[in-house]
Amino acid sequence: MSDLEELGFIEKTHTSSGRVPSEKGYRYYVDHLVSPQHLKASDVSTVRSVFAERIVELEQLVQKSAQILSDLTSLTSIVLGPKAVSHKLKQLQILPLTAQSAVAIIVTDTGHVESRTITLPSSIQPSDIEKMVNILNEKLIGVRITDLHDKMYKEVATLLKSHIQGYEQTMDILNDALKLNMNGKLVVGGKTNMFAQPEFHDLNKIRGLFNIIEHEQQFYKLLSPNEAGIHVKIGHENKLNEMVGCSLITASYSFGHEQLGTIAILGPTRMEYARVISLLTLLSSDMSQVLTNLYKE
């Protein structure tokens, strides 16, 4: 034991405490001693139940996957959906609220929905809105979100000019309405599972972890898809003070050869690495296969 402590593989966190693995010890364990665990048939069945419901929208798959993963591990799961750059427009609706305002609802092929209130030009009539929506859906459905701006000015502008009064102002409003949040949607499952972990009984620790989950921008950096495979970041490797004492295990999922998003488990450094890695491997592989079959042209 003293040799392991001298080498930095175990440490005493408090003067009166026993020795526990250090970050270096966990790193060695994950890199050299962990091997894939044979999952129980019930675990495999539970994971695959996500895909047995014939869900046809990616965001539903993401939400269901996060919940299943947190239930199986009793840890916190985070699933990052694909960036809007990979989305295509599925439907656009504009619903009048008042004479000069309306709500625009944008739906993508992955099931992503965004809505925002827009101001209508004073020259526009209710009948113009219906014409405008028909033109937009006819020309823009199936177009990648990142290509909407060009498509609007190359094909839609001429048609709107022929049918809508004050079309220039209308074009500016529509362009703003169609600017979606490019970050993928972050779905968290089992957030309250943190309270069951002895390492997280410190309220300041819990508050810090909840804070970085709520402020999603920090997690986007941690979860942005890496190269394929499983990645384990332990403690300080996550480069956030709040993540000291935590491990983040991630796996990417893909559509064909295009990586779309990330599935992750967040928990204390003391966790069942072999089982979590096996569950993530199974879920990411199955999700990639389902998405490839679902969205292939």
| Domains within the chain, CATH numbers bracketed | 1-29 (no CATH), 34-83+183-295 (3.30.450.40), 85-177 (3.30.390.60)
pLDDT, residue 103, reads 94
Task: Report pLDDT digits (tens) over 186-212.
Answer: 899 999 999 999 888 888 999 999 998
pLDDT, residue 70, reads 97
Mean pLDDT of 124-139: 90
- Tokens 């364990």 correspond to 29
Task: Report pLDDT digits (tens) over 141-161.
Answer: 999 888 998 999 888 988 888
